[in-house]
A = this chain, B = another copy of it.
Amino acid sequence: MLSNPYDRNCPTRQLLDRIGDQWTVLIVGALSAGPLRFTEIARRVDGISQKVLTQTLRSLVRDGILTRTAYATIPPKVEYELTSLGRNLSEPLDVLDQWARRHMTAVQEARDAYDAEHTPASA
C-alpha cells in the first residue's frame, strides 16, 4: 500500500508526474550508457520533437536528474549526463521493466478478451 497517495504532495505522485511521461524514461535510458550530446539524444529517442526534447532536458536538469555542460566551442557542444540521483533512478525503472516483461502479455490477453467480448459480434 502506498503511503498517502491522496495527498497531492505524496512523493510517489510527484515521482509519477516526473517519470510518467514517456520521454523522461527514454532519455534517462539513453543516457544510462554514458553522456550524450543534444543531437545524439534526439537521434536515439526517435520521434521526439526538438521542442519537447529541450523542455524535458531542462526540467530533468532542474530536478537534479542530469547535468548540462556547454562547451564554448564553434560549433557549440552540449553534453548531458546522469547525476548519481539520475543513475539510481534506473533501479525502480528496472523493477517496472521486470514487472512489465512478466505481466504485460497477461494485460494484452485481457484486452483482447475484453474487446472480443465487447465487440458487437459484427456480421
Contact = CB atoms under 8 A, between A and B. Distances in A.
Chain A: interface size category = 35 or more
A95 interface: yes
A104 B25 contact: no
A85 B100 contact: no
Nearest to A91: B99
Interface of A: 1-3, 5-6, 10-22, 25-26, 29, 32-33, 44-46, 61-65, 85, 88-101, 103-107, 109-111, 113-115
A29 B2 contact: yes
| Secondary structure of the A contact surface, majority rule | helix
Oligomeric state, in copies: 2
Contact of A17 (B22, B91, B105): B22
Contacts of A93: 2, 12
Q: 3 closest Cβ contacts across the A-B interface?
A: A64-B110, A20-B20, A11-B100
A104 B22 contact: no
Contacts of A44: 6
Contacts of A6: 26, 44-46
Nearest to A8: B47
